[in-house]
Amino acid sequence: MYIINAILDLGPMVMLPILIFILSVIFGEKLSRALGSGITIGIGFIGINLVIGLLSNSLGPAAEALVKNSGLQLDVIDVGWPAAAAIAFASRVGALVIPIGLAVNIIMLLTKTTKTVNVDLWNYWHFAFTGALVTAATGNLTLGIMAAAVNCAFVLKLGDWTAAMVQEFYGLPGISLPHGFAIAYVPIAIPIDILLNKIPGLNKIEINSDNISKKFGVLGEPTMIGLFLGTILGLLAKYDIKGALNLGMSMAGVMFLMPRMVKILVEGLMPVSRAAQKFMQKRFAGTEFYIGLDSAVAIGHPAAITTALILVPLAILLAFILPGNRVLPFGDLATIPTMVAMIAPICRGNVFRTTIIGVVVIAAGLLISTNLAPYHTQAAIDAAFQFPEGATSISSICDGANPLTWVIVKVMQLFC
């Protein structure tokens, strides 16, 4: 545990290059090339995180202003994913989740029930969070540990299932995205997409970055879309012209920079991906496997970020009008790009469809987070979490609105 905690304390931007370097050496890559690959991947993630920081620092305050201006008075506070992650790792399950997750992954690789090697150790917090909620709901730590393991297994299978789609749509060869939050919406998005294919009229609507660019020329470029939507969002948040235009330029910057940061990341991944394929072909003929990464590598796609900007004000509107909702959207409004990261490829980049499905999953998520709020709150108390001033009940959109977490909690409650 000491070694694992020491690695986690390095942070994902140091931890991931080390893990990629070790994997590259195991797969027979030259030390110099393995080192270069790890460093390049680290640089790519630094760039991605800088752009995500720009997104959060710009979109977050605008989203908060929208909530404030809306006058929403709801009693469950969305404390955001950083708080949820802190609660997860501080829980009793959190202390065990890394060895649990690694054990599940290794067993599934050995039994050929997964093709994904999930090196994204930081995001094991999603599994710990599920376990913490189950422990809070049942009072049984064993069930909490089982829930974390089950969550990990399901996410690995979903990562396998969506790998080909992710690789083609996002241009990430040899990669899967077993991210506990983003991938949980795949089982919802696929049937809705199939349903939309059967509805006359709706099945003909195609709005994506390519046809927007063809129709509107330079005005349809991703940077211009970011500028327009960011400015509109700023005006809805009651920013002055200067503030709205600054937000617009920040979103244009996100649209421009994110694909370039992902390109750097892919450049670093190519050597280890090729080495892994050779390694598997030599020892396990015909077997392929994927390197599991954070969905952060996907959120910069024009379809994902454009949809997210549209969904922020819609999420606040839903909080107003949705019967049964008690959650005040706040801390996690800026994580909506992550929510739609795995929906966009299912819709083949169609912003119209991704938005429709996004509205459905946000509505469902608000009700799920309302339902799980008592367990979320209890898990926070158990972890000695410092509540925001005036808050007595908390939840989050990530992972408190996670449908897979909700199902696992409900199933585990049947055993107590």
In the chain, the number of structural domains is 1
A 10 A CB-CB count for 56 gives 17
Which residues does 8 contact at the CB level (< 8 Å), separation at least 6? Answer: 15, 98, 121, 122
Place of tokens 């710009």: 58
Whole-number pLDDT of residue 215: 60
- Say which residues have a Cβ less than 8 Å from residue 404's Cβ, sequence separation at least 6: 130, 151, 154, 155, 180, 184, 187
* pLDDT at site 218: 57
pLDDT at 219: 56
CA distances from 163 to 238, 261, 289, 291 (A): 41, 21, 10, 10
The pLDDT, as a whole number, for residue 286 is 65
388 is written with which tokens?
Answer: 């925001």
Give the integer Cα–Cα distance in Å for 27 and 276: 6
- Asked if 115 contacts 160 with a C-beta cutoff of 8 angstroms, the reply is yes
Structural Rg of the chain based on CA atoms: 21
Task: Decide: residue 347, CB within 10 A, 0-12 exposed, 13-18 middle, 19+ buried.
Answer: buried
Question: What are residue 342's phi and psi, to 5 degrees?
Answer: -95, -5
| Exposure letters 349-372 (e unless 16+ CB within 10 A, then b) | bbbbbbbbbbbebbbbbbbbbbbb
Q: Which two tokens stand for residue 232?
A: 């509109």
Six token digits for residue 100 = 């649990």
- Where b means 16+ CB within 10 Å and e means fewer, 85-102 reads bbbbbbbbbbebbbebbe
Residues 6+ apart with CB under 8 A from 5: none
Q: Integer distance in angstroms from the first to the last C-alpha of the chain?
A: 30
pLDDT at residue 345, rounded to an integer: 93
**Amino acid identity, position 81:** W
Q: Please give the Cα distance from 155 to 187 (Å, whole number).
A: 11
Which tokens sit at 117?
């090697």
Find the domain containing 361 and state its range.
Answer: 2-413
Task: Please state the pTM of the whole predicted model.
Answer: 0.82
Is residue 288 within 8 A of residue 116, CB to CB? The reply is no
Q: What is the model's pLDDT at position 367?
A: 95
> Tokens in use for 194?
């199939």
Give me the residues of the chain with pLDDT under 50, please.
none
Number of Cβ atoms within 10 Å of the Cβ of 325: 19
